[in-house]
Amino acid sequence: MLTDDEYDYLFKLVLIGDSGVGKSNLLSRFTTNEFNLESKSTIGVEFATKNIEIEKHTIKAQIWDTSGQERYRAITGAYYRGAVGALLVYDITRQTSFQNVTHWLKELREHADPNIVIMLVGNKSDLSETNRAVTTEEGGALAEQEGFLFMETSALDATNVENSFATVFNTIYSNVPKKQVNADQQGQTGPSGDRIQLRPPSVRSMTRGGDEEAKEKKSSGGCC
Ligand SMILES: Nc1nc2c(ncn2[C@@H]2O[C@H](COP(=O)(O)OP(=O)(O)OP(=O)(O)O)[C@@H](O)[C@H]2O)c(=O)[nH]1
Ligand SMILES: [Mg+2]
């Protein structure tokens, strides 16, 4: 039985998309079930972690978040390095954020591993009735064209938040060669061919306390 800070795999996922689409709130909804109606733009890089179970393996989901605003962003290369998943988020009430998906895609293609698992996420679905500017069909068509997973979410009312992260992590996990999953050895390769960071059993026993884990969950400047 693994304790809180013991895990079999560490999967890094990055959040990208225009400023204000709700990346930070998706992250806080997923990791701590919190939502902030007046959240400020992210400065630099933040990351949070959450352990999830897939087929009796503990996956440490490490999710990185930075600002959609160029001036607040950290070094791009370091942000994408080692990422095996990405949520490319737009705001269903803001057309420009959907149009800019192509910009984020370009950045992903330039800096991320070509085999990264990408989900296109149309956030703020709670405003669907009153303020929708991008139809579900438009989002779905773009995702299909690019070969992405797709989901509409609401960080505000929690619709599909757990589901979207879980789908991406399950897809990443399913791409890991099963023989290697069962081998439970250090130094395995992931879907990207990169090493999946796997903590060996000898290190597992050197666990940190819950308090330290809690601090890590909202630590900033996790990059570089
Ligand atoms: N109605 C609604 N508002 C949301 C939702 N998600 C986020 N918001 C609001 O949208 C605003 C921006 O949210 P953030 O999570 O800070 O956006 P961000 O993408 O992290 O922005 P940057 O850090 O600047 O890139 C905040 O006022 C949030 O409360 C949602 O699902 N529904
Ligand atoms: Mg943010």
Q: What pTM, to 2 d.p., does this model score?
A: 0.83
Ligand 1 atom with least separation from CA of 21? 19
CB-ligand 1 contact for 39 (6 Å cutoff): yes
pLDDT tens by residue, 154-188: 999 999 999 999 999 999 999 987 655 454 444 44
Say if 206 falls within a structural domain.
yes
Say if 214 falls within a structural domain.
yes
Say if 33 falls within a structural domain.
yes
Counting the structural domains of the chain, the total is 1
Say if 2 falls within a structural domain.
no
CA–CA gap between residue 31 and residue 34 (Å, rounded): 8
What is the three-class DSSP state of 87? strand
Ligand 1 atom with least separation from CA of 39? 16
Position 77 pLDDT exceeds 90: no
Distances (CA, A) of 64 to 44, 72, 126, 132: 11, 14, 24, 27
Name which residue sits closest to atom 12 of ligand 1, judged by CA: 20
pLDDT tens by residue, 106-158: 999 999 999 999 999 999 999 999 999 999 999 999 999 999 999 999 999 99
- Are residues 137 and 171 in contact, defined by beta-carbon separation less than 8 angstroms? no
- Rounded to 10 degrees, the C-alpha dihedral 5/8/12/13 comes to -100
Across 32-36, 77-81, 184-188, the highest mean pLDDT is recorded for 32-36
Say if 224 falls within a structural domain.
no
CB-ligand 1 contact for 135 (6 Å cutoff): no
CB-ligand 1 contact for 92 (6 Å cutoff): no
Position 191 pLDDT exceeds 90: no
Nearest CA to 146 among 101, 176, 190, 113? 101
* Burial of 215 per CB tally in 10 Å (0-12, 13-18, 19+): exposed
Instruction: Measure CA 80 to chain center.
Output: 11
- Are residues 200 and 186 in contact, defined by beta-carbon separation less than 8 angstroms? yes
Say if 4 falls within a structural domain.
no
CB-ligand 1 contact for 14 (6 Å cutoff): no
Say if 170 falls within a structural domain.
yes
Ligand 1 atom with least separation from CA of 27? 15
Say if 1 falls within a structural domain.
no
Secondary structure E strands in 67-218: 85-91, 117-123, 149-152
Which ligand has the nearest atom to the CA of 19?
1
Residue 109 maps to which CATH number? 3.40.50.300
- The range of the structural domain enclosing residue 65 comes to 9-219
The reported pLDDT for the residue numbered 208 is 32
CB-ligand 1 contact for 154 (6 Å cutoff): yes
